[in-house]
Amino acid sequence: MMAPTHVVVGLALGAAVATVEPSLGTAAAIGGAIGGAAPDVDLFVGQHRRTLHAPALLFVPAALAAGLALAAPTPLAVAVAVAFLAAAVHSASDALGAGEELRPWERTNPNAVYCHAAGRWLRARYVVPYDGAPRDFLVTAAFAVPVVLVFSGPIRWLTLALVAGAGVYTALRKRLPKYFEPIVE
Protein backbone atom coordinates (compact mmCIF):
# COMPACT_ATOMS: atom_id res chain seq x y z
CA MET A 1 0.00 0.00 0.00
CA MET A 2 1.11 3.55 -0.63
CA ALA A 3 2.43 5.80 2.15
CA PRO A 4 -0.67 8.04 2.24
CA THR A 5 -2.79 4.96 2.94
CA HIS A 6 -0.63 3.99 5.91
CA VAL A 7 -0.69 7.51 7.33
CA VAL A 8 -4.47 7.84 6.90
CA VAL A 9 -4.99 4.46 8.60
CA GLY A 10 -2.86 5.76 11.49
CA LEU A 11 -4.97 8.91 11.62
CA ALA A 12 -8.10 6.75 11.70
CA LEU A 13 -6.71 4.96 14.75
CA GLY A 14 -6.32 8.40 16.29
CA ALA A 15 -9.93 9.19 15.38
CA ALA A 16 -11.05 6.08 17.25
CA VAL A 17 -9.25 7.32 20.37
CA ALA A 18 -10.76 10.80 19.90
CA THR A 19 -14.28 9.39 19.93
CA VAL A 20 -13.62 7.82 23.34
CA GLU A 21 -11.53 10.65 24.82
CA PRO A 22 -11.61 13.85 22.75
CA SER A 23 -8.93 15.53 24.85
CA LEU A 24 -6.41 12.91 23.70
CA GLY A 25 -7.49 12.90 20.06
CA THR A 26 -4.84 15.23 18.70
CA ALA A 27 -2.03 13.32 20.43
CA ALA A 28 -3.46 10.05 19.14
CA ALA A 29 -3.71 11.40 15.59
CA ILE A 30 -0.14 12.69 15.65
CA GLY A 31 1.07 9.34 16.97
CA GLY A 32 -0.96 7.51 14.36
CA ALA A 33 0.42 9.59 11.51
CA ILE A 34 4.01 9.13 12.67
CA GLY A 35 3.57 5.41 13.31
CA GLY A 36 1.78 4.93 10.01
CA ALA A 37 4.74 6.41 8.14
CA ALA A 38 7.64 5.16 10.31
CA PRO A 39 8.20 1.66 8.88
CA ASP A 40 8.84 3.11 5.43
CA VAL A 41 11.94 4.88 6.72
CA ASP A 42 13.58 1.59 5.76
CA LEU A 43 13.32 2.75 2.15
CA PHE A 44 16.33 4.92 3.00
CA VAL A 45 18.02 2.93 5.79
CA GLY A 46 18.35 -0.82 5.52
CA GLN A 47 16.16 -3.07 3.37
CA HIS A 48 12.62 -1.93 2.58
CA ARG A 49 9.88 -4.04 4.16
CA ARG A 50 12.44 -5.87 6.29
CA THR A 51 14.53 -3.55 8.44
CA LEU A 52 11.75 -1.55 10.15
CA HIS A 53 8.74 -3.64 9.19
CA ALA A 54 7.86 -6.27 11.79
CA PRO A 55 4.33 -7.56 11.14
CA ALA A 56 4.23 -9.77 14.22
CA LEU A 57 6.75 -8.24 16.60
CA LEU A 58 5.51 -4.63 16.54
CA PHE A 59 2.24 -5.69 18.16
CA VAL A 60 4.19 -6.50 21.36
CA PRO A 61 5.38 -2.92 22.05
CA ALA A 62 1.98 -1.70 20.83
CA ALA A 63 0.22 -3.79 23.48
CA LEU A 64 2.67 -2.73 26.19
CA ALA A 65 2.35 0.94 25.25
CA ALA A 66 -1.46 0.62 25.14
CA GLY A 67 -1.42 -0.85 28.64
CA LEU A 68 0.68 2.05 29.88
CA ALA A 69 -1.58 4.57 28.13
CA LEU A 70 -4.66 3.01 29.74
CA ALA A 71 -2.98 3.11 33.17
CA ALA A 72 -1.74 6.69 32.75
CA PRO A 73 -3.55 8.33 29.82
CA THR A 74 -1.26 11.25 29.14
CA PRO A 75 -1.01 12.74 25.63
CA LEU A 76 2.54 11.37 25.25
CA ALA A 77 1.57 7.87 26.38
CA VAL A 78 -1.40 7.81 24.01
CA ALA A 79 0.68 9.14 21.10
CA VAL A 80 3.33 6.46 21.66
CA ALA A 81 0.73 3.69 21.95
CA VAL A 82 -1.08 4.72 18.78
CA ALA A 83 2.25 5.18 16.96
CA PHE A 84 3.30 1.61 17.76
CA LEU A 85 -0.14 0.28 16.82
CA ALA A 86 -0.11 2.19 13.51
CA ALA A 87 3.41 0.91 12.75
CA ALA A 88 2.29 -2.65 13.51
CA VAL A 89 -0.81 -2.31 11.32
CA HIS A 90 1.34 -0.81 8.53
CA SER A 91 3.77 -3.72 8.68
CA ALA A 92 1.06 -6.37 8.78
CA SER A 93 -1.06 -4.76 6.08
CA ASP A 94 1.84 -4.77 3.62
CA ALA A 95 1.27 -8.52 3.34
CA LEU A 96 -2.13 -7.73 1.80
CA GLY A 97 -0.46 -5.97 -1.12
CA ALA A 98 2.10 -6.81 -3.78
CA GLY A 99 5.76 -7.66 -3.59
CA GLU A 100 8.47 -5.04 -3.51
CA GLU A 101 9.15 -4.14 -7.14
CA LEU A 102 8.95 -1.23 -9.57
CA ARG A 103 6.07 -2.78 -11.51
CA PRO A 104 4.17 -4.78 -8.87
CA TRP A 105 1.25 -5.42 -11.24
CA GLU A 106 3.59 -7.80 -13.09
CA ARG A 107 3.86 -9.94 -9.91
CA THR A 108 7.52 -10.88 -10.35
CA ASN A 109 8.35 -10.75 -6.62
CA PRO A 110 6.07 -12.72 -4.28
CA ASN A 111 7.75 -11.38 -1.11
CA ALA A 112 5.51 -8.81 0.57
CA VAL A 113 7.05 -8.19 3.99
CA TYR A 114 9.63 -9.92 6.17
CA CYS A 115 8.32 -11.53 9.34
CA HIS A 116 11.12 -11.57 11.88
CA ALA A 117 9.12 -13.81 14.24
CA ALA A 118 8.81 -16.52 11.57
CA GLY A 119 12.22 -15.84 10.02
CA ARG A 120 10.84 -15.63 6.49
CA TRP A 121 9.17 -13.39 3.95
CA LEU A 122 5.36 -13.35 3.96
CA ARG A 123 3.89 -13.85 0.52
CA ALA A 124 2.06 -11.05 -1.23
CA ARG A 125 -1.72 -11.54 -1.06
CA TYR A 126 -2.72 -8.93 -3.69
CA VAL A 127 -5.91 -7.91 -1.84
CA VAL A 128 -4.68 -4.45 -2.77
CA PRO A 129 -3.02 -5.35 -6.09
CA TYR A 130 -0.20 -2.81 -5.79
CA ASP A 131 0.66 0.53 -4.21
CA GLY A 132 -1.23 3.23 -6.04
CA ALA A 133 -3.84 0.85 -7.46
CA PRO A 134 -7.40 2.19 -7.60
CA ARG A 135 -8.28 -0.21 -4.77
CA ASP A 136 -5.46 1.32 -2.69
CA PHE A 137 -6.95 4.76 -3.30
CA LEU A 138 -10.35 3.47 -2.15
CA VAL A 139 -8.81 2.17 1.08
CA THR A 140 -7.25 5.59 1.67
CA ALA A 141 -10.53 7.38 1.01
CA ALA A 142 -12.53 4.99 3.21
CA PHE A 143 -10.20 5.40 6.20
CA ALA A 144 -10.19 9.17 5.67
CA VAL A 145 -13.95 9.40 6.27
CA PRO A 146 -13.86 8.93 10.07
CA VAL A 147 -10.84 11.21 10.35
CA VAL A 148 -12.59 14.03 8.48
CA LEU A 149 -15.77 13.51 10.53
CA VAL A 150 -14.00 13.46 13.90
CA PHE A 151 -11.32 16.12 13.45
CA SER A 152 -11.34 19.70 12.28
CA GLY A 153 -8.50 22.06 11.49
CA PRO A 154 -5.00 20.84 10.59
CA ILE A 155 -5.69 17.12 11.00
CA ARG A 156 -8.69 17.28 8.70
CA TRP A 157 -6.73 19.33 6.14
CA LEU A 158 -3.76 16.97 6.33
CA THR A 159 -6.09 14.04 5.71
CA LEU A 160 -7.72 15.70 2.73
CA ALA A 161 -4.28 16.57 1.33
CA LEU A 162 -3.19 12.95 1.73
CA VAL A 163 -6.29 11.75 -0.11
CA ALA A 164 -5.66 14.27 -2.91
CA GLY A 165 -2.00 13.21 -3.13
CA ALA A 166 -3.04 9.57 -3.19
CA GLY A 167 -5.40 10.37 -6.06
CA VAL A 168 -2.63 11.99 -8.07
CA TYR A 169 -0.27 9.09 -7.34
CA THR A 170 -2.94 6.60 -8.38
CA ALA A 171 -3.48 8.46 -11.65
CA LEU A 172 0.26 8.45 -12.40
CA ARG A 173 1.39 5.17 -10.81
CA LYS A 174 1.82 3.03 -13.92
CA ARG A 175 3.74 5.80 -15.70
CA LEU A 176 6.33 6.27 -12.94
CA PRO A 177 8.60 3.20 -13.26
CA LYS A 178 10.34 4.45 -16.40
CA TYR A 179 11.56 7.48 -14.44
CA PHE A 180 12.93 5.40 -11.56
CA GLU A 181 14.55 2.56 -13.53
CA PRO A 182 17.84 4.48 -14.01
CA ILE A 183 18.00 5.15 -10.25
CA VAL A 184 17.10 1.66 -9.06
CA GLU A 185 19.07 -0.43 -11.55
Per-residue model confidence (pLDDT) at position 121? 97
What pLDDT is attached to residue 180? 81
Residues 93 and 1 sit within 8 Å (Cβ to Cβ): yes
pLDDT for residue 179: 87
- Kindly report, residue by residue over 94-144, the tens digit of the pLDDT: 999 999 899 999 999 999 999 999 999 999 999 999 999 999 999 999 999
- In 3D space, the residue among 144, 29, 42, 116 whose CA is nearest the CA of residue 81 turns out to be 29
**Predicted TM-score of the model (pTM):** 0.94
Mean pLDDT by 10 residues, the chain (185 residues): 96 98 98 98 94 96 98 98 98 95 94 96 96 97 98 98 98 92 66
